Structure 1
């Protein structure tokens, strides 16, 4: 079978290759999945670079999420139940950028018939992060203010739509001025650029209160400014480092008003949730996808053989949606 492979960490465009490799066989509790499509997420690119929380054991295949059809089971009730079904594949073992992959049966979610392959491929990472941060970790109440950086990203747009649906306000920080009108049309309450007077604008729209909730995947100067917008008692959640730079904080700022900053990694958070909470989260995502709240825009689709072009496009700031690897036709 064909698979995308890298022998050592490095720039994805340089180190990724498409090779013929043996088709894997599932063990007990695992399933063999014929892959249909997989998105290229920032976490995938960081994994190839070698600077993600999960370190590759080379030679390795990237791709943490995707959609495919279960072809065989290595044993177990869940595996037999999934056989022949189209599933979302959350794969931190072998990677999804290949014609076939093996994954734990418990990390495969059956896909409703009315969900397209394109939306199913991006079912988990961004949608689950958006829902987990706003509804579970921060529990943003109706009428509350949430400040987010990188608001023009696919995840940022999901948060804006969640705010409109759940009744909380979003204050959105973007890199490019042309994104302001786009996000306003989407329903954002306020949109500013990174070089605008962020704190002044925030205090103007919140009546001087600041933001009780902040989420930041950028870090660096932008993340630092976002955290400094916290209201007394406010909480900031850091879940990425797109800038590659650390935030810098004076402890006195956090001490005054009892503000707090914490980290969030979806994989860690999900592992700590009980089965009932996980099932609830999956039901929420399915419903919100059907409503159009958590849908992902697809900017371009490429074959496995075009993976170098695909990762180059995925790394470009300001693209109009996800870059998707189309591995095979759907059933």
Structure 2
């Protein structure tokens, strides 16, 4: 029988707000009592947990989450269920390897242990390692969800920003698999080559001279009527401008850390264009259990086959996590930073 310690190490976000660098500097390492799961919950011993852009938004106090005291960040991770609070599913998960999502309003995955709802745990295939399983939820399911929403809205081709990101690369692979034409936007010439090597056919460099003219021309040729916007800021209005009538811009990220801007009301009123949002939790709630099981089974198969992978630029323990996060913020396209609690 697994012997639980009385206390655990955890990353604490004692202050929120400010820019992302300040938010990272305010992180501290603390000791907390190991939590006790209630009925329908399990206790997961975290083996690996990534940092996603949504975690940085949380650290800056922009995610709408409020805490009266220091909170443990981390939206997702992977580990082993070591205790159950009771209930059929929770008891069945005991001793199983899982990917898990942090419960809303409670402590997250950047700790040695975390309470998770049994329904928020995904049993892992035997050969899928924690290193990849830790990022099984946010990016892969967002990529599936974004394409699903675009197709359900009647779009037959889309443009994707921040296409060199981890999620952007997954969109490359999934769009090919679904034979859904996509135009991928990156920031550097080297990233154009990287996406071509993944099989992307249409890639544009936003740093190139005449980019927006090239983008408008490519959108016409591919009949693009939807933009998947990970950046926000002025990029939202610029995308809206180049798209044809009755097009949609779906904002799902805020990499610019700026409000959506340069939005011309003429485009909305007279050209019938729309700005919408995508939030993964909201999309998941609409899917139903059976459909979600199919999605996660498909994702794990693709991971095991090497068709989608999360690049890891650095693994860090508790002690060097802040330094690793600063590295991640400076160059996200190199891959995720992965917290490994057992790493010293």
TM-score normalised by L of structure 2: 0.89
Partner of 1:6: 13
Partner of 1:163: 175
CA contact (8 A) 2:156 2:223 kept: no
- Trace 1:73-88 onto structure 2 (pairs within 5 A): 73-88=84-99
Moved over 4 A (4+): 140-143, 206-210
Q: Deviations over 1:297-324 (max 9, x none)?
A: 1111011221211221221135411110
Partner of 2:58: 47
CA contact (8 A) 1:37 1:121 kept: yes
Counterpart pick for 2:116 among 87, 103, 106: 103
Shift of 1:144: 3.6
Deviates more, 1:240-249 or 1:75-84: 240-249
Shift of 1:274: 1.9
Counterpart pick for 1:276 among 259, 284, 290: 290
User: How far apart are the structure 2 equivalents of 1:141 and 1:65?
Assistant: 29
Q: Deviations over 1:221-270 (max 9, x none)?
A: 22322222323332221011111222221222133443222011111221
Counterpart pick for 2:238 among 225, 245, 248: 225
- Trace 1:1-331 onto structure 2 (pairs within 5 A): 1-10=8-17, 11-92=22-103, 93-134=106-147, 136-139=148-151, 144-196=156-208, 197-208=210-221, 210-245=223-258, 246-328=260-342
Shift of 1:195: 3.7
CA contact (8 A) 2:163 2:184 kept: yes
Query: RMSD between aligned alpha carbons?
Result: 2.2
Deviates more, 1:84-93 or 1:229-238: 229-238
Q: How many aligned positions are there? A: 328
Structure 1, unmatched stretches of 5+, are none
Deviates more, 1:313-322 or 1:238-247: 313-322
Q: Structure 2 vs 1, CA of residues 53 and 240 (structure 1 numbering), >3 Å: closer, same or farther?
A: farther
Shift of 1:57: 4.2
TM-score normalised by L of structure 1: 0.92
Q: Structure 2 vs 1, CA of residues 56 and 128 (structure 1 numbering), >3 Å: closer, same or farther?
A: farther
Q: Secondary structure of the equivalent of 2:56?
A: helix
User: How far apart are the structure 1 equivalents of 2:118 and 2:251?
Assistant: 30
Shift of 1:180: 1.5
Q: Structure 2 vs 1, CA of residues 141 and 262 (structure 1 numbering), >3 Å: closer, same or farther?
A: closer
Q: Structure 2 vs 1, CA of residues 269 and 56 (structure 1 numbering), >3 Å: closer, same or farther?
A: farther
Q: Secondary structure of the equivalent of 2:342?
A: coil
Which gives a bigger RCO, structure 1 or 2 (Cα 8 Å, sep 6+)? 1
